[in-house]
A and B are shown apart, each in its own frame.
Chain A
Amino acid sequence: METVGIWIGALCTLAIFSFLLRENPFFRTAEHLFIGLAAGLGIFYGYQTIVSNAWTPLFNPDPGEARKWFLIVPLVLGVLLYTRFLKKGKWISRIPLGFLVGVGSALAIRGVIGASFMSQIVATMELPLWHTMAKFKIDAILFILGVIGTLIYFFFSREQKGPLKVGASIGKWVMMLAFGAAFGNTVMARMSLLVGRIYFLLGEWLHIL
């Protein structure tokens, strides 16, 4: 059975790689298979979430635990999403959608205020200026200049001339270095995946490696 699995896996891998030559029927079949499996997984995880987070605590709670009646609300909202298949009641599906968007937006603000905004500013302000962060003594100064420069680069409320222009220029070069490094990291991550696939084909499948 394991050999059959490896052969199927290898054929799937080759079908996807065949896209590099041109779009072809083998790729399209593998693509449909992939989407089908991914959607199936989505259904399973969705079902599992509903059962464990809503159905069981509401209708089948553990012995000694009270029923959580409030959970009827998300169950009803969830079912209302399916009204988008109705011709006349289509608009009702916007109610649960509105709830999702409202909570999602508020959650974004709550998350952003703490982790991405205040903490980042505080962490930058707390850096001792003459401090070796990585290699050189001026690293902390370079770092702070980089953060401030990047912020100035996106400051459009005033014409960028004089000190603002200098700051924006520093920001631009720091961002170029940052994007280059980020790109290099992305390339390496994709390459390691590619090496993994080639290792699978040449090693596990063909036993060459």
Chain B
Amino acid sequence: MRREVPIVVTFVSGILFLLDYFIKIPYVSENVVGQFLDWAIIVAAFALILGAANIFRIHIYKIVKGKKEWWNSLILLVAMLVMAVVPIIWTQQNAVYTFLFKNIFENLNGTMFALLAFYIASAAYRAFRVRTKEAAVLLVSAVVVMLGATPIGAKIWSGFPEYSGWLQTIFTTAGMRGIMIGASLGAIVTALRTIFGIDRSYFGGQ
């Protein structure tokens, strides 16, 4: 019962939603299966709040037990509650929400991703040490694209922007298209394995 019911639900919802793409059954397609995507969006919204509830549970525990750096947990919870409650009670145009979003969230978000610039530089150093022919091709391609996207590249040689575009139009698109076609087959097989209950890893270890 504990294992079978969720597997049956996965199978029925998956197979009905998949068949609906190919066959339209009057009334059922429109009113039930056709609504599955909207239903999934609603359930996913509940899941989003569930994730936040889990974070809340973990950090309340840290505060109550006075764990190491418990004040960080307090900051997290206060930020979470204010950011959630303020737009729900008032609106997204509220001054507190706008202040938090514009001055704190946007800055933290942008900086977190900007931080990756340094790590990507370190990764580039390791990847581009020209030890093999493949690494040399990778390096040349990346350098041409980078120089093609910067004003200094065009100053060095006017052909950089042109060849950068050429590389991306022909080779990036061709390579990515080949990978995408292969990955699509893999995605279809994986999805079918899940629908038919062969792959049950999403249930977790219990």
Give me the interface of A with B, judged by CB distance under 8 Å. Answer: 1, 5-6, 8-10, 12-13, 16-17, 19-20, 25, 28-30, 32-47, 49-50, 53-54, 70-71, 73-75, 77-79, 81-82, 84, 90-91, 94-110, 112-113, 116-117, 120-121, 123-124, 133-135, 139, 142-151, 153-154, 171-188, 190-191, 193-194, 196-197, 200
For residue A142, which residue of chain B has the nearest CB?
A: B170
CB-CB under 8 A from B80, the residues of chain A are: 36-37, 39-40, 43
Distance in angstroms from A112 CB to nearest chain B CB is 5
Assess the B73–A176 pair: CB atoms within 8 A.
Answer: no
For the complex, what is the distance from the CA of A121 to the CA of B76, rounded to whole Å?
A: 48
**Contact at B55–A176, with CB atoms within 8 Å?**
no
Please tell me if B64 contacts chain A, counting CB pairs below 8 Å. no
Residues of B within 8 A of A42 (CB): 48-49, 51-52
30 sampled A-B residue pairs with Cβ under 8 A: A5-B102, A12-B108, A17-B115, A29-B72, A32-B73, A34-B105, A36-B83, A38-B109, A43-B83, A46-B52, A49-B42, A99-B9, A100-B43, A102-B13, A102-B14, A106-B191, A133-B170, A150-B174, A173-B134, A177-B138, A177-B172, A178-B174, A179-B138, A180-B140, A183-B124, A184-B142, A184-B145, A188-B146, A188-B149, A190-B113
On whether the beta carbons of A6 and B6 are closer than 8 Å, the reply is: no
By a beta-carbon cutoff of 8 Å, the part of chain B in contact with chain A is 2, 5-18, 21, 31-32, 35-53, 55, 69, 71-73, 75-84, 87-88, 99-118, 120-121, 124, 127, 134, 137-146, 149-150, 162-185, 187-188, 190-192, 194-195, 202-203, 206
Report whether A6 and B81 are in contact in the complex, using a CB–CB cutoff of 8 Å: no
CA distance A135 to B81 in the complex (A): 55
A117 touches B162 (CB 8 A): no
Q: Which of A35, A123, A142, A153 has the most CB of B within 10 A?
A: A35
Min Cβ gap B16→A in Å is 8
Within the complex, the shortest CB–CB distance from B191 to chain A, in Å, comes to: 4
* Residue contact B170 to A104, C-beta cutoff 8 Å: no
Collect the chain A residues with CB atoms within 8 Å of residue B81's CB.
40
Inter-subunit contact B108/A37 (CB<8 Å): yes
Please report the C-alpha to C-alpha distance between residue A173 and residue B81 in the assembled complex, in whole angstroms. 52
Q: Shortest beta-carbon distance, B172 to chain A, in Å? A: 4
From residue A130, how far is it (CB to closest CB) to chain B in Å? Answer: 15
Q: Tell me the complex Cα distance, A106–B193, Å.
A: 11
Verify A46–B45 contact, CB threshold 8 A: yes
**Is A148 within 8 A of B69, CB to CB?**
no
A12 near B75 (CB under 8 angstroms)? no
In the bound complex, how far is the Cα of B171 from the Cα of A100, in angstroms? 37
A49 to B76, CA, bound (A): 23
Partner among A47, A178, A190 whose Cβ is within 8 Å of the Cβ of B114: A190
A5 pairs with B182, CB closer than 8 A = no
Question: A194–B114 Cα gap in the complex (Å)?
Answer: 5
Do B31 and A180 touch across chains, with their CB atoms under 8 A apart? no
B55 touches A44 (CB 8 A): no
Q: A32-B73, A53-B45 are in contact. List 20 more A-B contacts (CB 8 A).
A: A32-B76, A39-B83, A44-B88, A74-B42, A98-B8, A99-B39, A102-B17, A103-B40, A105-B195, A172-B134, A174-B171, A176-B134, A178-B171, A178-B174, A180-B140, A180-B141, A185-B149, A188-B145, A190-B114, A190-B116
Instruction: Tell whether, in the assembled complex, residue A121 and residue B181 are in contact, meaning their CB atoms are under 8 Å apart.
Output: yes
Residue of B nearest to A54 (CB): B42
B145 touches A70 (CB 8 A): no
Tell me the complex Cα distance, A148–B184, Å: 15
- Residue of A with least CB distance to B111: A16
